[in-house]
Structure 1
Amino acid sequence: MEKSGKQQAVLTSVHNERVKQWTQLLDRKGRDKQGRFLIEGIHLAEEALRSDVPPEVLVYSAERAEASLRLRKEAAALGIECVAVMESVLAKCTDTESPQPVFAVVPKLPWRPADLLAASEKGGLVAVIDGMQDPGNLGTIIRSADAVGASGVLLGKGTVDLYNPKTVRSTMGSLFHLPIVQGDLQEWLPQAASRGVKVVSTRLEDAVSMYEYDFRQPTWFVIGNEGQGVSASVQQLAQHHVRIPMQGRTESLNAAMAATVVLFEAMRQRGGGTKQYS
């Protein structure tokens, strides 16, 4: 192992106690128990190192050490432990068929729904996820929310785990750029509305074109499940409903694509991305 520049033995056994703990993080139960999650690859590790939630430990392939040299120097400068392992250990602890040369163990994000309420009082834009199941779709929406300068993302009950390895990878590091929190939509949507936030969802019936809706006001935009859309109980909490006008013959868009279209329209109305919300 290596810490602050000190080189020690390479970790070789997949039966090592630390390796067992890291492997548990591939499962939601293990992540919930430890309050930590795994990120894989140089890019995600770089994003974590530069965020407010730096890794607790950086694990790298001893056989591909050159690939992570710069990253390890950056981590060591921050006092982060760097552990060299054999490829067999790397494969045991990661989710991909061809493991990246590095992974890191990171504490779960510290944000709470109250943080989104505070941001919304300043005119914020929040993407609210209701029961989405596909990790790739969730990751894409998080990237889109990041791209438009949204205040954050709220994940309702029944939504795929934010820390699922596939979700984490698909965010491409955006999960470190803005608050992402989990909470009961039945509790937090009414609280947001009581503070002057407009709760908006998409639907086809009794909805206005998204181009006619004023997204310049504090807005929490609800995106639903891939197959069923926004649930009936959450739909009742929405004060306004918008639809995406379409000229072609398709009847609907992928959930992540639809969310991205609306979020970028909100950004356009708010000044084309010239203002950032915190």
Structure 2
Amino acid sequence: MKYIESLKNPQVKQWKKLLTKKERQKTNSYLVEGFHLVEEALKFKEDIIELMYSEEIEIPQEWDIHGLQVTKITSEISKAISDTETAQGIFAVCQMKNTSVNELNGKSFLLLDAVQDPGNIGTMIRTADAAGLNAVVLGEGTVDAYNPKIIRSAQGSHFHINILTGHLDEWINKLQQEQIPVYGTALENGIPFKQVQPEDSFALMVGNEGNGVSKHLLELTKQNLYIPIHGQAESLNVAVAAGILMYYLKK
């Protein structure tokens, strides 16, 4: 086990860089923090590159850390690499999983078009996981799935469900080639969602909080759906709407 106590240590600088999208993409790795998320990561030990913990805490005895690279750090380092106001002092560097449109595997998908709010994205990843979908695909303009706020909001679902990126028009074409219907979400040329039947295979596409799904993508779908509003609210939050539709469409 290593022990690092200097904030100037190159390894500490590298961990801090993982809070940026550029470094995550460069190294194909990301940082998780907190007891719950690290515990979830340990269920998929092959994804863990390194585990770090503050000298002020103890690793739970029931955790299986055998074979992992473990580094003890000071509380100052813990605060420096944390993205939260109150660091719990436990971290893991994990490897991203790479899957492309050419490695399409699964029957049910959530497609995100230019969604901007990390909380919404994390919630939708978590809900897709809970609803039993196979993958979430983040299209252009959507916030990086490994943003620390998204990691926290998803509460460990990054380890349970495939999280992919790419051009959504390519994904839609590939899904349709595999006879998987793609449903957009829009009032214009849309129908109430209960007019379609739940299916084993489907893809649901939701869009930007302010502008919705891009018009050119809506033109590629099998059908566009909307959720009727029975009260006085102007619209539903995108994560709430996605949750309703995923649970309805999933047979």
Q: Give the TM-score of the pair, scaled to structure 2.
A: 0.95
Equivalent pair of 1:53/1:176 in contact (CA under 8 Å)? no
Superposed displacement of residue 32, structure 1: 1.4
Superposed displacement of residue 70, structure 1: 2.6
Superposed displacement of residue 235, structure 1: 1.2
Structure 1 CA distance for aligned equivalents of residues 17 and 153 of structure 2: 21
Asked if residue 60 in structure 1 is aligned to residue 60 in structure 2, the reply is no
Equivalent pair of 2:41/2:159 in contact (CA under 8 Å)? yes
Asked if residue 83 in structure 1 is aligned to residue 83 in structure 2, the reply is no
Give the ranges of 4+ consecutive aligned residues of structure 1 lying more than 3 Å apart after TM superposition. Answer: none
Query: Partner letter of residue 167 of structure 2?
Result: D
Query: Partner letter of residue 243 of structure 1?
Result: Y
Structure 2 CA distance for aligned equivalents of residues 144 and 101 of structure 1: 28
Cα distance 1:126–1:53, how it changes in 2: closer, same or farther (>3 A)? farther
118, 123, 128: which is aligned to 2:105? 118
Query: Partner letter of residue 155 of structure 2?
Result: M
Equivalent pair of 2:101/2:174 in contact (CA under 8 Å)? no
Structure 2 CA distance for aligned equivalents of residues 153 and 138 of structure 1: 10
Cα distance 1:232–1:154, how it changes in 2: closer, same or farther (>3 A)? same
18, 22, 26: which is aligned to 1:25? 18
Equivalent position of 1:5 in the other structure: none
Asked if residue 239 in structure 1 is aligned to residue 222 in structure 2, the reply is yes
Asked if residue 194 in structure 1 is aligned to residue 182 in structure 2, the reply is no
Asked if residue 69 in structure 1 is aligned to residue 89 in structure 2, the reply is no
- State the SS of the aligned residue for 1:56: strand
Equivalent pair of 1:199/1:239 in contact (CA under 8 Å)? yes
Equivalent pair of 1:142/1:171 in contact (CA under 8 Å)? yes
Structure 2 CA distance for aligned equivalents of residues 86 and 55 of structure 1: 21
Equivalent position of 1:174 in the other structure: 157
Query: Partner letter of residue 104 of structure 1?
Result: A
Unaligned runs of 5+ in 2: none
Structure 2 CA distance for aligned equivalents of residues 52 and 183 of structure 1: 27
Aligned residues: 251
- CA deviations on 1:70-112 (whole Å, 9 max, x unpaired) are 36x511x2x0011110011011111111111201100112333
- State the SS of the aligned residue for 2:241: helix
Superposed displacement of residue 53, structure 1: 4.5
Equivalent positions of 1:35-54 (< 5 A) are 35-51=28-44, 53-54=46-47
Structure 2 CA distance for aligned equivalents of residues 96 and 11 of structure 1: 21
Structure 1 CA distance for aligned equivalents of residues 183 and 158 of structure 2: 23
Cα distance 1:222–1:53, how it changes in 2: closer, same or farther (>3 A)? farther
Q: Give me the CA root mean square deviation.
A: 1.4
Determine what percentage of the aligned residue pairs are the same residue. Answer: 37
129, 133, 138: which is aligned to 2:116? 133
Superposed displacement of residue 210, structure 1: 1.0
238, 255, 259: which is aligned to 2:242? 259
Cα distance 1:52–1:74, how it changes in 2: closer, same or farther (>3 A)? closer
Equivalent pair of 1:51/1:177 in contact (CA under 8 Å)? no
